[in-house]
A and B are shown apart, each in its own frame.
Chain A
Amino acid sequence: MTKIHFWQGNEACAEAAITAGCKFFAGYPITPASEIAEHLALRLPQEEGIAIQMEDELASLGAVIGASWAGAKAMTATSGPGFSLMQENIGYAFMTETPCVIVNVQRVGPSTGQATKCAQGDVMQTRWGTHGDYASIVLSPNSVQEMFDLTIKAFNLAEKYRTPVILLADEIVAHMREPINVPPSNKIEIVNRKKPKPTDKAFFGSEEIPPMPSVGQGFNVAVTGSTHNEYGIRYTADPTVHRRLVERLMGKIRKKASKIIDFEDCNIKNCEAGVISYGCTSRAVYETVDLAKKKGINLGFLRLKTLWPFPDNAVQTMAKNAKIVFVPEMNLRQIFYEVERAVSGMVPVVPINKIGGGEMITPEELLAKVVKGVKSVD
């Protein structure tokens, strides 16, 4: 596979899963994510993997969780409506520390919305979708190359932190075709879960990220989504056991946030105005920077590759230098509020939003808002 390919985003995601070592896929058809299931149905058996179409998205993520406990790296792919159905098992995977990858190729919601059109409306759902306290790891690709690179990264983070990881793509990056470079396999970092020693008995909390056995290895592992101690035994009334468990589960991600967070930045330390964007929307920002320069505006940008954990520090660096920060999104303000929280009143934060019909925010539209905004603070 090493070479330059001209792939569709969904195809790049599926091939990346195989490269990352994925041996199990379960999914349910949904636009605009179905090509991932179709490609893996063809390719996984060739790589001694299993691909199965389940009866719904509840079952899809359920099967992925079972496969992960059976020792396989496992993935599912869906879009908003299916992602809503997966919320119960996302919480379960978090609570049971089951590594798995969930791809959400966003389309216009709420509900059935506009099935074939692009949107970025599921950002907050990836952070707060399931019930209870939890921390999520969410990656946001903005190109076919990143559909490949960040899918591998999603598997690596899932295995490393023993947690579900969400690849939050969108219809545009999933359906467009671009040349992509697949590096030789010895240049690709692949992370595998920490396995237990034969004498290990605690798989849920003896250490921050405990080792993970597979079923059928004689460990007699007890897995449960109820509050449990380090041996997997349920303690459903004990406040201390619950606090210790959930604080560790959140802590193992929060404390490592600086290691997980990934972004692309340009000129954030000395720009007069800044743009914070992610996913397909960020593709318009590169040209906007050039257009702004011609108008005499020194525009910097921050492009989020990880949405969660949120890169407060990078946002604050920009806000300390820029006079104004713009947040373009294909939703009606989601990351905007998170930026506002991080900026904490240092400078004005301006939302730029567009929804419906899958139309991107163009560089010209972005420029017009930037020019107007910069004038307002001069």
Chain B
Amino acid sequence: MRDLPLPFCTGCGDLTIMNCFLRAVHELGYKDLNRFVFCSGIGCAAWIPSPHFKADSIHTAHGRSIPVATGVKLVRPELNVVVFGGDGDLAGIGLSHLIHAARRNLDIVVVMANNMIYGMTGGQVAPTTPIKIKTTTTPYGNVERPFDTTRLVVAAGASYAARWTTFHIEQLKESMKKAITTKGFAFIEAVSQCPTAFGRRVGLKTAPDMLQWFKGNSVTLQEAEKMAEKDLEGKIVVGEFVHREFPTVTETLYEIMKEAKKGAQKN
């Protein structure tokens, strides 16, 4: 970590996510972050790695962290490329890049802090905000259904995808370890508390209040399978959604490069 004051509000879930990630890296045996490159866009979660991690970090335009990570990974496939972002950054303005990176099976890790709100800009509705929730831009309540981003990424072809909340710190950390060691596109959704811009307006004023809500409202994937659709309304389904191996775009492109070079030399 760089010796800089952290920007997060009291009780912010991003601190938990930062903590879980650093513990995961430590438990995997890394002594420093020299083999990592962090890309993040705009929003509170983008500040988790940049500029706080003592590592290479690229703080990109809003929503464009995954394209930049794509360029980095394709040129330097031996480095661990990790993207941090919020739900607005990755499931809002940058959603198409998230889907395409999963489709390509780009060998990177994406950690999405889902606080269900645009926190940095003062609490506007996000594509992940639950229905009926009042935000600064939905004063009559949110009329749109939220994205299930993890399932979306699974459908797009991710190699690894898991969702936990900041209440599930042990599971979150273990999933981060798996994400880093899995070959291919790995996605982690960390449902995270924003007492400042979300909780305060829905009667969950403090971080403990929000964590209690996460605890009481989460159901595991196994439990969810046995539940009726209407009972699942408003629940947070947590667990490991997929863990599989496919060839990655990086390794395929480098194989093509070898063949093309041979072909060119023959000609």
Q: In the docked arrangement, what's the CA distance between A234 and B6, Å? A: 12
Residues of A within 8 A of B256 (CB): 45
Q: Are A24 and B51 in contact (CB under 8 A)?
A: no
Q: Once the chains bind, are A220 and B55 in contact (CB under 8 Å)? A: yes
Query: Which residues from A are CB-within-8-Å of B50?
Result: 222, 224
B residues in contact with A223, CB < 8 Å:
57-59
Asked whether any CB of chain B lies closer than 8 Å to the CB of A74, the reply is: yes
Cβ-neighbour of B71 out of A74, A225, A234 (below 8 A): A74
Please, which residues of chain A bring their CB within 8 A of the CB of B51? Answer: 222, 224, 232-234
- Is A219 an interface residue when CB atoms closer than 8 A count as contact? yes
Q: Which of B66, B71, B260 contacts A46 (CB 8 A)?
A: B260
Kindly state whether residue A71 has any CB partner on chain B within 8 Å. yes
Contact of B100 among A47, A55, A64 (CB under 8 A): A55
Query: Which of chain B's residues have a CB closer than 8 A to the CB of A362?
Result: none
Least CB distance from A93 to B in Å reads 10
Closest chain B residue to A95 by CB distance?
A: B61
The reply to whether B61 and A92 form a contact with Cβ atoms under 8 Å apart is yes
Nearest-Cβ distance from residue A198 to partner chain B, whole angstroms: 14
Q: Report the minimal beta-carbon distance from B101 to chain A, rounded to whole angstroms.
A: 9
Q: Which among A54, A66, A69 has the greatest number of chain B C-beta atoms within 10 A?
A: A66
Residue B158 interfacial (CB < 8 Å): no
Q: Are A48 and B67 in contact (CB under 8 A)?
A: no
Determine whether the beta carbon of B70 is less than 8 Å from that of A59.
Answer: yes
* Residue B228, interface by CB 8 Å: no
Q: Which A24-76 residues have C-beta < 8 A from chain B?
A: 24, 26, 45-50, 52, 54-56, 58-72, 74
Closest to A222 in B: B51
Q: B74: which of A50, A55, A62 is its contact (CB, 8 Å)?
A: A50
B230 interface hit (Cβ, 8 Å): no
Q: Which of B234-267 contact A (CB under 8 A)?
A: 249, 253, 256-257, 259-261, 263-264
Q: Does B151 contact A (CB under 8 A)?
A: no
Contacts of A224 in B (CB 8 A): 50-51, 58-59
Query: Nearest Cβ in chain B — how far from A47, in angstroms?
Result: 8
Which B residues, 119 to 133, have Cβ-Cβ distances below 8 Å to chain A?
none
A88 interfacial by beta-carbon distance below 8 Å: yes
A371: min CB distance to chain B, Å: 51
A50–B64 touching, CB < 8 Å? no
* Cβ contacts under 8 Å, B58 to chain A: 65-66, 69, 215, 223-224
Interface residue from B64, B71, B259 paired with A26 (Cβ < 8 Å): B71
Shortest distance from the beta carbon of A313 to any chain B beta carbon, whole Å: 36
Verify if B54 is at the interface (C-beta below 8 Å from A).
yes
From residue 180 to 236 of chain A, which have CB atoms closer than 8 A to chain B? 214-216, 218-226, 232-234
Interface residues in B, total, Cβ within 8 A = 42
Check B67–A62 contact: CB distance below 8 A: yes
CB of A89 within 8 A of chain B? Answer: yes
**Is the beta-carbon distance between B70 and A72 smaller than 8 angstroms?**
no
The interface residues of chain A lying within 8 Å CB-to-CB of B249 are: 52
Binds A, one of B34-42, B173-181, B185-193, B211-219: B34-42
B205 in the interface, Cβ–Cβ < 8 Å? no
A61: which B residues are within 8 A, CB to CB?
A: 67
Q: Which of B75-93 contact A (CB under 8 A)?
A: 75-76, 78-79
Residues of chain A within 8 A (CB-CB) of B257 are 45, 48-50
Q: How far is the CA of A24 from the CA of B97 in the complex (A)?
A: 19
| A46 and B64 contacting across the interface, CB-CB below 8 Å | no
**B74 in contact with A52 (CB, 8 Å):** yes
Task: Indicate whether A23 reaches chain B with its CB closer than 8 angstroms.
Answer: yes
Contact B54–A216 (Cβ < 8 Å):
no
CA–CA, A47 and B265, complex, Å: 10
- Asked if B97 and A46 sit within 8 Å, CB to CB, the answer is no
User: A149 CA to B257 CA in the complex, in Å?
Assistant: 27
When C-beta atoms are compared, the residue in chain B nearest to A56 turns out to be B96
Partner of A221, one of B35, B56, B264: B56
Binding site for B on A (CB under 8 A): 23-24, 26, 45-50, 52, 54-56, 58-72, 74, 88-89, 91-92, 214-216, 218-226, 232-234
7 closest Cβ pairs, A-B complex = A66-B71, A62-B67, A70-B75, A45-B260, A67-B71, A46-B264, A63-B71
Q: List 29 A-B contacts (CB under 8 A).
A: A45-B253, A45-B257, A50-B74, A50-B257, A52-B70, A52-B74, A55-B96, A55-B100, A59-B66, A59-B67, A59-B70, A61-B67, A62-B71, A63-B68, A65-B71, A69-B58, A70-B74, A91-B61, A92-B60, A92-B61, A218-B34, A220-B55, A220-B56, A222-B50, A222-B57, A222-B59, A223-B57, A225-B60, A233-B4
